[in-house]
Amino acid sequence: MKPIQFTDDTFDAEVLKSDKPVLVDFWATWCGPCRQIAPIVEELAVELEGKVKIGKLDVDDNQQTAIKYGVRSIPTILIFKDGELKDSIVGAVPKTSIVQRLNAVN
């Protein structure tokens, strides 16, 4: 399973109305550190399938959502549960850090 591609148009339905926790990777094609964590996000999408919804949002194509959540530097990972922002991680961090923060929300 690949990460879901979220957009400004699908964000409410896919993220805020999700019945599962959602991890959103805010990224852009030109961002080096974003490319570093991309494989981690893809691994998590496979490992947590059915438990956590994992997706990516390209900030260049979807600026409204990035602005709404104050995403100023990328990569930024936001974790939502029950329609609410529960945690944020800024920068390229190890997989273990992301998993710990996800587990704390679940």
For the chain, helix (H) and strand (E) counts, in that order, are: 4, 5
CB 97 within 8 A of CB 44: no
Which one is catalytic: 24, 31, 45, 71?
31
**Could you confirm whether 44 is annotated as catalytic?**
no
Question: In angstroms, rounded to a whole number, what is the distance separating the alpha carbons of residues 75 and 98?
Answer: 12
Q: Name every residue whose Cβ is closer than 8 Å to that of residue 56 and which is 6 or more positions away in sequence.
A: 3, 4, 5, 6, 24, 25, 26, 27, 38, 41
**Could you confirm whether 34 is annotated as catalytic?**
yes
Which one is catalytic: 22, 23, 34, 44?
34
- Catalytic residue IDs: 31, 34
